[in-house]
Amino acid sequence: MARLKIESLRKSFAATTAVDDFSLDVGDGELVCLLGPSGSGKSTILRMIGGFEQPTSGMIRIDGQDVTRLSPERRPTGMVFQSHALWSHMNVFNNIAFGLKLRSLSRGEIQRKVDQALELVGLAGYGHRQTFQLSGGQQQRVALARSLVLEPKILLLDEPFASLDQHLRERLREEVRDIQQRLGITTLFVTHGQDEALAMADRIVVLRNGQCEQVDAPDVLYRNPQTEFVAGFIGQMNFLSANVEGGRFRHPDFTLDVEVQDGPAVLALRPEALRLEPSDSPDAAGVTRATDFGSHIMVDVELRDGARLKVMTAPDARWQKGQTVRLAASAFALYRQNRLLARGGLPVETVEGRSRHALA
């Protein structure tokens, strides 16, 4: 029912630009995640949508209505804060009922809606509790109920799980995703944790320095990062720098034929796209460490020029420290100045002078 449209949003503080020419369309019932390191402007964007910051320029529309200059209390948005920001002088019921009372609903109506909201977040019967009697996770649920009870068109979540421990965080994000899909509420979610974004979002917006790097579904983002930054930010990635000369990426350990202009470039290889084989060659790469994660083993490999790569191998493989190995890659991407030059599933191998196996 609700669409959010952001057009060339810009926010400058005294000397710095926090958000620079940001545009985004969020469809009805969609959950979009703003992901980025701290200082990337993701919270500022969310706070501008909520009305807590004024954009320097640009426009925010909700269902076609321009809300850019509206104060927070006049916007059809509901925000859940990182610190939950519950009102500690009111009990749970009054926290949730506050917004309803402002809308002069009848007592019975308020009671019914609050009960419903508490039920929704799994806290039925907690109305009479004081907020400080609740655990961190329960407090955040109350904050969610407080926003949802007003049936906002857009739900805004500002790193809502940041203060919770890992285990609780994972459980709560499933619940929130569940509630969001049941209600079909258009949601914008800010986080700096990629797990959270990958687990919850329909689409992810990766931000850096106030600018949008890429907007895509989680699987696309992981498999097809459009910039070097996104490639490094989402999941684990190995990078190798070298020059492209005459249509060939010339790294001492990896060469690759690519049809791009000559110049410096960065080769990006996922650990799971690399494969190891024992090698007898004296100038092959060496294993420096193998860490067993149970489901897989992560092997650190040092190349001849000192560059280090991470390689994911099967849990039954055994690799010794100091062992010489040969690497092969099944997929790659090549970047120059943060832009994607080429990508592909071509086999790339460590050069050992003679043979080249195609492993893919």
Partner 1 sequence: MIRSYSSTSGRFDWMGLAFAILLVIVIAVPLLVVFTWAFTEVWRYPSVIPQKFGLRFWDQTLSRADVWEALFISLRLSATVTALSALICLPAAYAFARMKFPGRDLFFLSFLASHAFPKFGLLVAIAAIFLQLNLIATFWGVVLIQLVGTLMLMIWIPVAAFQAVDRRMEEAARDVGAGPLRVFWSITLPQAGPTIFAAVLLTFVSTFYETEGAWLIGAPQIRTMPVLMINFINNQVVVQYGAVLSVILWVPSFIALIFARRVIGTGSFAKGFGA
Partner 2 sequence: MADTATLSAAGGSEPAIGRGLKGLLLVAIPVFLVGWLIIYPIFAAILSTLFVAGPDGVQFSTASYQFFFSDPYSRANLALTLWTTSICAVLLLLVGLPIALYLRFSTSRFADLVQSLAIFPMFVPSIILSYALIRTIGPNGTVDILLNAVGLPKLPTPYLTPWGPVIGLVWDNLPLTVLMLTAGLAGISSPSIEAARDVGAGPIRVFWYIILPRMGNSILVTISFTVLGIFSSFTLPYVLGPASPEMMGPFMLRTFNDLYDPLNAKTQAVISFVFCLFFGLFYVWSIARNQRSQSR
Q: Does 16 bind partner 2 (CB under 8 A)?
A: no
- Nearest residue to 34 (alpha-carbon basis) of 4, 61, 76, 59: 4
Helix (H, G, I), strand (E, B) or coil at 37: coil
Helix (H) or strand (E) holding 241: strand 238-245
- DSSP annotation string for 317-354: ----TT-EEEEEES-EEEEETTEEEEEE---EEE--SS
Chosen from partner 2, partner 1, none, partner binding at 85 (C-beta under 5 to 8 Å by type): partner 1
| CB 19, min distance to partner 2, A | 12
- Would you state the structure tokens that stand for residue 264, as one six-digit string? 């410096």
Task: Classify residue 335 by burial, with Cβ atoms within 10 Å: 0-12, 13-18, 19+.
Answer: buried
| C-beta separation of 332 from 273 below 8 A | yes
Q: Does 135 bind partner 2 (CB under 8 A)?
A: no
Which residue from 23, 28, 65, 69 is in contact with partner 2, where contact means CB under 8 A? 69
Q: Is the dihedral of CA 233, 236, 241, 242 positive or negative?
A: negative
Q: Could you tell me whether strands 297-302 and 263-269 are parallel, antiparallel, or unpaired per DSSP bridges?
A: unpaired
Q: Does 66 bind partner 2 (CB under 8 A)?
A: no
Q: Does 241 bind partner 1 (CB under 8 A)?
A: no
Determine the size of the site formed for partner 2 (CB under 8 A). Answer: 12
Q: Does 132 bind partner 1 (CB under 8 A)?
A: no
Q: Which is nearer to partner 2, 54 or 261 (CB)?
A: 54
| CB 10, min distance to partner 1, A | 22
| CB 82, min distance to partner 2, A | 15
| CB 92, min distance to partner 1, A | 14
- Nearest residue to 86 (alpha-carbon basis) of 22, 143, 170, 11: 143
Contact string 62-101 vs partner 1 (x = CB under 8 A): ---------xxxx--xxx-xxx-xxxxx--------xx--
Location of structure tokens 């799994």: 122
Q: Which stretch binds partner 1 (CB under 8 A): 32-40, 49-57, 176-184, 270-278?
A: 49-57
Interacting residue ranges for partner 2, rule: CB under 8 A:
11, 13, 47, 51-54, 69-72, 74
Interacting residue ranges for partner 1, rule: CB under 8 A:
50-52, 71-74, 77-79, 81-83, 85-89, 98-99, 102-103, 143, 146-147, 150
